[in-house]
With several copies, the nearest count.
Chain A
Amino acid sequence: MTDLSTRIAGIYLGNPLMLASGILDENGYTMKRILEEGASAVVTKSIGLKERSGYSTPVVADLGHGDLLNAVGLSNPGIDKYGEEIKIAREARKPIIGSIFGSTPEEFSILAKKMEEFGVSAVELNLSCPHVKGEGLEIGSDPEMVESIVEAVKNSIKIPVFSKLSANTSSIMETVNAASKSDGFVLINTIRAMAIDIYAKKPVLSNGYGGLSGRSIKPVGIRYVYEVKKETGAQIIGVGGVSNAEDVIEYMMAGASAVQIGTAVGFHGRSIFRDIEKDLFGLAEKIGFSKISDLVGAAL
């Protein structure tokens, strides 16, 4: 019997398929349902200290071919109120990973501690949020800041800490080294992008700029997973454009111990988790594996 289970920083996953942050994880009931319908874990929406409305609609644009552009703008109810959603989601009795964003190491620590109190299995640091000091820059592009954040969070909680990094960088290894105290890396977040409607003569998102996700960014995600695995051997969760079983295997061969699925959940529906799981069983014979975790890094 093919074994699809895997582990990331000691957390057992029944299959390598997790829900990515920001997709169907605002409402506790939705997360619970997604866990019941096949995801081995969910990552929450990125949560901050205070309630935020984010940008007004349109916040997403379907670009066709499985690609999406979004600028939701980190809307969230604030950490205190979000505990209620996690409580509901925990009824599914599977790992929940709390994603958090902030602008200082202190903010990240407070958020991480609250997440730990709410009973999540790990914390994911969204290091792609805007930097207060640098204009337009992400926190993740300031290695000193990244180092302080990871250190502060690691000192505040006992559960594993994952750093989610941006692909908008000239050197991912610089950020990886700065975040080396993390228990693992989540690669990658969306890529800076934009689309213009030529009839409206306007950007299609209310915010103008947005982040590209979906099929198009898979080769970018694969590259960074491969590079970081090769350079560090660290534990990695691959994200970006996973939409079928082949994509999962590709990420795992590049070095990921598990993957997260975002955009494709929208295009395919929540059944994507069960459908990919079924296809993974089918691929086991064609590719020749009995334990999927044996494939981690097979292409390195």
Chain B
Amino acid sequence: MMENVKIKWKKEETPTVSTLGFEWTRDVKIGQFIMVWEPGVGEIPMSLSSVTGTKSITVKNYGPTSASIVSKSAGDRLFIRGPYGRPFTMVKGKKLLIGGGSGMAALRPIIDSNSYGVVSARTSSELLFANLFEKGKVYEATDDGSSGVKGTPVDVLRKIDLDFEMIYVCGPEMMMKSVYDYLLGKVDQVEFTLERSMKCGIGLCDSCSVSGYQVCKDGPVFRIDQIGKMEEFGKWKLSYSGLRTKM
């Protein structure tokens, strides 16, 4: 059911990413997402980057719909439905957050004094929410080496001890695939947030499915052992028409 909320504030996080805050009374859990409708443009999934008090989404200006959302201002209406999907498993102990690009948006509500981060991006100015970790608890990886390690999160992981109660991963699927391949057999408390093109958000249209699981409903959060059973993970996705396409 479509609802609408007024945008309370807007904050530019990076040159291409902004956070929009709004009051919404629904109970949301970390890792869940909403569908955001821009009338006349499109409707896309967005994780909640804040789930308590004033809620928020953190949006990367990517294509037409996200651009339209990012161009909104405080006072404007946001058309949303949700929250949808299964949340992360929360733990009390030491945790590692591995986020690539806008993937950090979904992980943001987990960040606390017991959290370590591996934040990756194309370039230094696009590193999202790295500043929210306590000093010394965040590792950075950039494609161009403008900050932190030049490379991918896996290049960071190789250098650190994996002694965490839970590892949370969110980012582009190929990045997550490399993280999965690296972690496999080393640790088993890992959760991944998958991202697929979503049309319905409610388990009907099949456009988000990975090996028979609907990312919108069975996910977006999956445990590493579930990911292990997904033949399509990191390999195949269906295009907007339904055409099987290599990743």
Answer yes or no: A and B touching, Cβ < 8 Å. Answer: yes
Residues of A within 8 A of B (CB): 23-27, 29-30, 32-34, 45, 51-54, 56-64, 68, 70, 72, 75-78, 81-82, 84-85, 197, 199-200, 202, 204, 206, 262-263, 265-267, 269-270
What separation, in Å, do the CA atoms of A40 and B202 have in the docked complex?
23
Q: Is the CB of B204 within 8 A of A24?
A: yes
Q: Is the CB of A51 within 8 A of B79?
A: no
Q: Is the CB of A206 within 8 A of B42?
A: yes
Residues of B within 8 A of A29 (CB): 209-212, 231-232
Q: Is the CB of B203 within 8 A of A265?
A: yes
Q: Is the CB of A57 within 8 A of B242?
A: no
Query: Per-position contact with A for B53-82: 1 when CB-CB < 8 Å, else 0?
Result: 000000000000100000000000101010
Which A residue's beta carbon lies closest to that of B232?
A: A29
Residues of A within 8 A of B211 (CB): 29, 33
Within 8 A of A (CB), among B202-247: 202-207, 209-214, 217, 231-232, 238-244
A-B contact pairs, 9 of them (CB 8 A): A24-B204, A24-B214, A26-B242, A30-B214, A54-B241, A57-B199, A77-B239, A77-B241, A202-B39
Q: Is the CB of A26 within 8 A of B204?
A: no
Given contacts A26-B242, A58-B42, A265-B204, 11 further A-B contacts (CB under 8 A): A23-B204, A29-B210, A29-B232, A51-B243, A57-B42, A57-B199, A75-B240, A81-B243, A197-B2, A200-B77, A200-B79
Which A residue's beta carbon lies closest to that of B244?
A: A84
What separation, in Å, do the CA atoms of A208 and B202 have in the docked complex?
20
B114 within 8 A of A: no
With beta carbons under 8 angstroms apart, the residue of A33, A34, A60 that contacts B199 is: A60
Which B residue's beta carbon lies closest to that of A213?
A: B204
Residues of B within 8 A of A (CB): 1-2, 4, 35, 37, 39-40, 42-44, 65, 77, 79, 81, 199-200, 202-207, 209-214, 217, 231-232, 238-244
Q: Is the CB of A62 within 8 A of B1?
A: yes
What separation, in Å, do the CA atoms of A76 and B200 have in the docked complex?
16
With beta carbons under 8 angstroms apart, the residue of A26, A33, A34, A200 that contacts B207 is: A26
Q: Is the CB of A59 within 8 A of B200?
A: yes
Q: How far is the CB of B137 from chain A (nearest CB, A)?
A: 38
Q: How far is the CB of A276 from chain B (nearest CB, A)?
A: 16
With beta carbons under 8 angstroms apart, the residue of A45, A202, A266, A269 that contacts B200 is: A266
Residues of B within 8 A of A33 (CB): 211-213
Q: Is the CB of A266 within 8 A of B204?
A: yes
Q: How far is the CB of A202 from chain B (nearest CB, A)?
A: 5
Q: Is the CB of B2 within 8 A of A204?
A: yes
What separation, in Å, do the CA atoms of A32 and B212 have in the docked complex?
7
Q: Is the CB of A51 within 8 A of B241?
A: yes
Q: Is the CB of A24 within 8 A of B79?
A: no
What separation, in Å, do the CA atoms of A123 and B4 have in the docked complex?
41
With beta carbons under 8 angstroms apart, the residue of A60, A72, A199, A204 that contacts B202 is: A60
Residues of A within 8 A of B77 (CB): 199-200
Q: Is the CB of B209 within 8 A of A27?
A: yes
Which A residue's beta carbon lies closest to that of B4?
A: A199
Which A residue's beta carbon lies closest to that of B197?
A: A57
